[in-house]
Each structure stands twice: as C-alpha cells, then as structure tokens.
Amino acid sequence: MGTRAGGRRTGPKCIAIVGPFASGKTTLLEAILARTGAIPRQNPVSSGNTVSDYSPEARAHGMSVEATFASTEFMGEQLTFVDCPGSIEFAFEAEPVLAACDLAVVVAEADEKKIPALQLIMRKLDDLAVPRILFLNKVDKSIAGVRETLKMLQPASSVPLLLRQIPVRKDGVVIGSIDLALERAYIYREYAESQVADIADDDKARELEARFSMLETLADHDDQLMEQLLEEIEPPKDAIFDDLSADLRAGAVTPVLIGTAEKGNGVLRLLKAIRHDAPDVEATRKRLGAPDGQTVVQVMKTIHTAHGGKLSVSRVLSGQLADAAELFLSNGDTAKVSGIYRMLGKDQAKLTSAKAGDTVALGKLDNVKTGQTLSSAKGGIRPLVTLEPPQPVFAFALRPKERKDEVKMSAAIQRLAEEDPSLNLRHNQDSAETVLSGHGEMHLRVVRERLEGKNQIPIEGHAPAVPYRETIRKSAQQRGRHKKQSGGHGQFGDVVIEIKPLPRGSGFQFTDTITGGVVPKTYIQSVETGIRDYLKTGPLGFPVVDLAVNLSDGSYHAVDSSDMAFQMAAKLAMKEGMTACSPVLLEPIMKVEIVTPSDATSKIIALIPQRRGQILGYDARPDWPGWDVVEATMPQAEIGDLIIELRSATAGVASYRAVFDHMAELTGRLADEAMNANGKAA
C-alpha cells in the first residue's frame, strides 16, 4: 500500500460530541465556544448557564437529556457542534445526529468503570462508519500515565487508539502537553491559548518513544513510512500529517488528544485537529449514499419552541437552500421552508440561505420527522437514514388529573414524540390505559416533567396493569335459564352447557351438540355471543382463556324467545358454572435476554431468582469482548422496574429485550394481591 495523501479540507463541518455520562461533553462544548468567541466566557456546568443543557429538565437533573446544537467559527471555518447525551436512557438522541455528522469527538477519562459505556458509543460509531477523535479529558486529575490509560481504554475501540499528545508534568501535576506530530510543547494557561515551549530535556526520551509508537501505527497503512522507519530515516512532517488525516478519515485509527475541558486546556489543539483532519460534507454525503447534483437535506432533530413553533434541525448534504424553498419527501409529499436559522443552544440567528455542509434549523416543516431525508428532486429520494429505536424497557400509565386536559395531553405527547422518536405511546384496550414507554426511569421522568412544566398539564402516573388472565382446572355442566314476564312479549332462553379446560394457549372453543331443534339454530349464535361476552371478565376479575364450551341442551318459547334472551341465559350458565370449574389466575411469563458487561454477570444472575425468574443460561455476547448475554424467563409483573436494578448493577449500561413466552398459574398471596389490585377478591 502506498502513501495516502490528504490535504486540508474547507467548508462547514458538523461535529458530534459524545461520550459516557459525566465525562465532560457539555464542559468541552462550553470551552470550545468560549475559545472561538461564540460566547464571552466559559461557564461551569454547575452555574446552570451553559449554552448546552439549557432545558429546565437538564439543569434540574444535572445531565444532558437531548442533543443540543451550537455553531461557531474557527479560523474562518464554520463549525457546528452537537452535544449528545451520555446516559444510555437518552442515547437514541445521538443516532440521527451521528449519521449526518462528519466527525465525532469522543470525550473519555481514565475511569475503568466507564469502559462499557465507552464501548457502546464506539460500537455505534463503527455501525455508522463515523470517523472519530478521542479527547482524553480531566488529565489534570488522572494519576495513571496516558499510555497506561490508553491500554485500559483500548478494549472499547475496534481500531487502534493513536496517541497524538503526551502530558508535560511538573511535580506530578500536568502543566501542558507535547504534540508528537509537531514535536512541540504547549504549556497550559487557564481559559487561554497555551504557550508554545521547547521540549524539556527530561521529556525528550519519553517524547521520542511515544512518537515512534505513533509512527509505527501509521506505518501499518503506509508502506513508504514503514520503509523510512526501518531505514531510520526521519519522515517529512507533511507526510505524517497527511497520514494522520487519511487514517482518521478512513476509520483506520482513532487519534487521541488530551486536555482538561474545565480549564479550557487542550481545546485549541483539538480545534486545529478538527479543522485539518476531519472529513468534510462531501465525504459524509458519499458515506450516506446521497445523490449529487441536487439539494439534499437530512433532518437530525425536531424541536418545538415556545414562540417559534416547530424547528427541524438539519444538515445540508449538497446543493443550496433558500428560505421559502420547496423540498420533497420520499413519499412525494412537499415541505416548504419557512425560515432558516443558525443555532447556539436555545438561541437562533436568522439566515437567508444555507449551503452544503451547513447545519441549520428549518422552520415550520409540519409534515417532516426526525431522520427523514428531503430533496429538491420532485418525488424525493430514498431515505438515507433508517432509525430503529431500541425496545422500550420502562413504562408507566398516565392520565391528566383533570379530564378537561385529555385532548391537550394527547397533543403535547404527540409533540414530545416528534422531538424524541424513541418514545412509544399506546392505548391498552384491556385496561383502558394510556401507556407511555421509553428507555429508563429517568427518560420517562423527563417526559412527565415536560408535560407538567412546559405544557402545564398535571399528570397522574402509575405502573401499567399486568395482563393477567384466568382459566379453569375442572369441567362442569350448568343450566342457565332467563325468564322474564313484564306484559306483552316476555323473555325466555334456556341452555345447558358443558365447560371444560383446554391446554395452555388454546384460547376459546365453542361447539354445540343440539339435536331435535331444542335450541333453534338462530339462537345458537346468540349463545356463543353471550358466552364470549362473559369471558371478558371471569369470576376472578380477568379475561378467561383456554376453555371449551359445548351447548348440549336447552329449550325455547315460540313467542318469548329472542336473541337477547339466549345471550342472557348463556351468561347466567357461565357465571354459575365457572365457580364449579376451580378458576385459577394466569400470569404472563416473558423470555428475557439481558446484555451486561461480563464483570457484572454474577450480579445479574443473582437478581433474577429474586424476581421469580428462572435462568436459562448465559454466554459471551457475540463480537462484543467483555460482554455477556443472560437468558431467563420472568413474570411480566416482575419486569416493570427491572431496568432500574440492571442499570444500578452495571454503571448504567445493561439493557434487555423481553418477548412473551407463556402463561403460568399464579396462586397464593401474589394472586390475592393481583385480584385485590383489580378490585376483585379471590
């Protein structure tokens, strides 16, 4: 393989800032904006006054709960940064963002507990083929050496972590860095540009060793560089920079820069690496497979503002975009742009147009959703991004405290679901509940806070009802007679039924063995209707399943018999007969697949029996070093808050999928509790 050239590229760029929870992403964005002059000073997160995390919910909980966009200029180039949440509960926010970004800056620190969370992020970047730089944050607080830290972090990355800088220490304290490509030292100054310095004699040997290691990794993709190293020829700096840039863009390496975002240290070197090495929108357009020769816009986020209405934050992948432009969706629908804005957190600045590479908010695209692709081509183009939210793992049933707010709540939830496509809303017909599902307790807590705060709708919420069923253990025969005389035509229906249990999962079967027309065929259907109506709520208070009913005998009256009379007779027969059939409660049992870091597997296995679960087995997670998959069965009633315990045991990274497996009998105290909760005594 020959040397790969890669010159600096110009034009607007879009950079995602990602990383584990509390790694310093919001702080880094604040430092970048201050260094580039977009804001007058860098505010600490604790001040509650950062450009990102501007929502009341983010500030109340001290964490990012949505992707936040902020544009700035650096050395004449337009850069838009997107601060993505670090918590797994809000991780889906990053998916439509990452797909349209040119580069991700992964913020990490020397914390072994956060490696699984870092691995989740790196795998997502792999899946989307997004190039990345790792910014090793909080180096001033790290005791471990940088190279030792990289060895610890390497298992989280599928490609080599390539150290570009090493720290300069004085009396054990990090006071600056040495750039291994430039062979130049930089002494940190708080909230200011570092001071260039010569490499101290004490650091030269360490620098040479680290630099040679960097060049060896680059030589894996450059035969000429390999030859130069073997022949001990000093390679030209331009060639080294070309290799660094080319390998980053190809996803062959993840360059690692160091710093302390809280003090603004290392930020300028990061910005210069982004300016010189990050791919541009042309590379992103090709990666996504967007056509050339037309305007193509990818929607990254939907925001409903208090005064400006709906905004669709979008990346212009190609072409030009003017205000009032007409765009087309893949289904042929049209969308007319009503306002183009540059974002700086919650603030917007109006523009007259946008060009390829720009990340802007487009106003009032009412029929446009996050993740959709818009085009100037009539009829639209195929979607460039497919969003597949993970299966929800937490849910609650909600209703407004006042009935008058039902329509208002429904509209508010619809807007929230537009902003967050990972929310799932459904109506449970059995329990007559509106059930909202998401990716964790905090995820849904934020939704509730937005309903009550932003939308001024007081909400009542509780755990969703478990879909219990009931069945029978014994057979019985029962007559049911409905007779009523109230002047004029009376009502008469008389049936004899046989009730017997069926194997689990059989449902309901109805037959008749009527002979001699004792129950006319016209009314046999009425008998079945009455039985099915009764089965909606059995003697224990739940729908009845897995039984067969045979209509064997009965009688009728030529004048007083009717469809309704035979329905009533059937219900009476069922009501009286079911009590003799030894009714029993059934609960749904789910098959659960839990993914967890291997060092927490024993904890997960221990908690499963505590929730009446049965372990089916566990094994290494395919292609996920350091992760396991635990399979079990567990009652649905025990799964409601399972995710809270799983996340607590795994530093917030475990998750699960659950599918219905079978129904099982439930007796004793738990059955009594279920029936009492349903308003029915055993």
Helix ranges (H only) for 220-325 are 223-230, 237-250, 267-277, 281-288
Asked whether this chain's domains 394-462 and 586-677 adopt the same fold, the reply is yes
> How many distinct helices (H) and strands (E) make up the chain?
17, 34
pLDDT in tens, 607-617: 999 999 999 99
Say which CATH superfamily domain 13-279 falls into: P-loop containing nucleotide triphosphate hydrolases (3.40.50.300)
Asked whether residue 5 carries a pLDDT value surpassing 60, the answer given is no
> pLDDT tens for residues 32-69?
999 999 999 999 999 999 999 999 999 999 999 999 99
- pLDDT tens readout for residues 250-280: 999 999 999 999 999 999 999 999 999 999 9
Which overall architecture, per CATH, does domain 470-581 show? 2-Layer Sandwich (3.30)
Provide the pLDDT for residue 143: 81
Q: What integer is the mean pLDDT of 339-343?
A: 97
Nearest to 651 by CA among 16, 107, 120: 120
How far, in Å, CA of 5 to CA of 124, rounded?
Answer: 28
Instruction: Please name the fold of domain 394-462.
Output: Alpha-Beta Plaits (3.30.70)
Per the listing, tokens 């509940």 go with 433
Structure token pair of residue 561: 């018999």
Which tens digit of pLDDT belongs to each residue from 551-608?
Answer: 999 999 988 899 999 999 999 999 999 999 999 999 999 999 999 999 999 999 999 9
Is 484's pLDDT higher than 90? Answer: no
Residue with tokens 């990050």, as numbered in its chain: 278
Pairwise CA distance, residues 386 & 367, whole Å? 18
DSSP 265: B
Q: How far apart are CA 444 and CA 391, in angstroms?
A: 14
Question: Is the pLDDT score of 682 beyond 70?
Answer: no
pLDDT: is 6 or 315 the higher one?
315
Instruction: Write down the CATH number for the domain with range 586-677.
Output: 3.30.70.240
Between 11 and 562, the higher pLDDT residue = 562
Q: What is the pLDDT of residues 277-326, one digit of tens each?
A: 999 999 999 999 999 889 999 999 999 998 878 999 999 999 999 999 99
* pLDDT digit string, tens, across residues 197-242: 999 999 999 999 999 999 999 999 999 999 999 999 999 999 999 9
Q: Which sequence spans correspond to the domains of the chain?
A: 13-279, 289-375, 394-462, 470-581, 586-677
Mean pLDDT of 338-365: 96
pLDDT band (50, 70, 90) for residue 3: very low
Q: Are 436 and 414 in contact (CB under 8 A)?
A: no
Mean pLDDT, the chain, whole residue set? 94
pLDDT surpasses 80 at 4: no
Q: How confident is the model at residue 172 (pLDDT cuts 50, 70, 90)?
A: confident
- Helix 237-250 vs helix 223-230: crossing angle, to nearest 10: 140
Specify whether the CB–CB gap between 618 and 499 falls below 8 A.
no
Kindly state the average pLDDT of the residues 323-332: 94
How many residues does this entry show for the chain? 682
The predicted pLDDT at position 1 comes to 35
Instruction: Inform me whether the pLDDT recorded for 680 exceeds 70.
Output: no
The hierarchical CATH code for the domain 289-375 is 2.40.30.10
